[in-house]
Structure 1
């Protein structure tokens, strides 16, 4: 039981050292991820359409 108490004390100690992002940073990073996903979605969709058109020509 002493090991569990020591473990949780260490967890709390380490969590206090974490540098959490601000709300503005979180919103910005979320927007960057969403835009990247949309870009790759469009890119691979266009690539798929192109490959499908090439296959249909054959």
Structure 2
């Protein structure tokens, strides 16, 4: 039973140690990366919306 308790405790200690070694982005870097992600997602969403509209219009012309 004691062995089963030691493993999670050891794991959590190792996780804590590893999290301290992580190089976290600065606030400025975080905002920059977030902006890039938002811009990319927006561009892709607009691209697919336009593509969907064009393909739907073409299919409607063909079927009518």
Q: CA RMSD in A?
A: 1.1
Q: Does 1:48 align with 2:57?
A: no
CA distance in 2: counterparts of 1:12 and 1:4, whole angstroms: 12
Unaligned runs of 5+ in 1: none
TM-score (norm 2): 0.80
What displacement does 1:11 show?
A: 1.3
Unaligned runs of 5+ in 2: none
What displacement does 1:8 show?
A: 2.0
CA distance in 1: counterparts of 2:60 and 2:12, whole angstroms: 62
CA distance in 1: counterparts of 2:59 and 2:9, whole angstroms: 64
Q: Does 1:26 align with 2:30?
A: yes
CA distance in 2: counterparts of 1:55 and 1:4, whole angstroms: 58
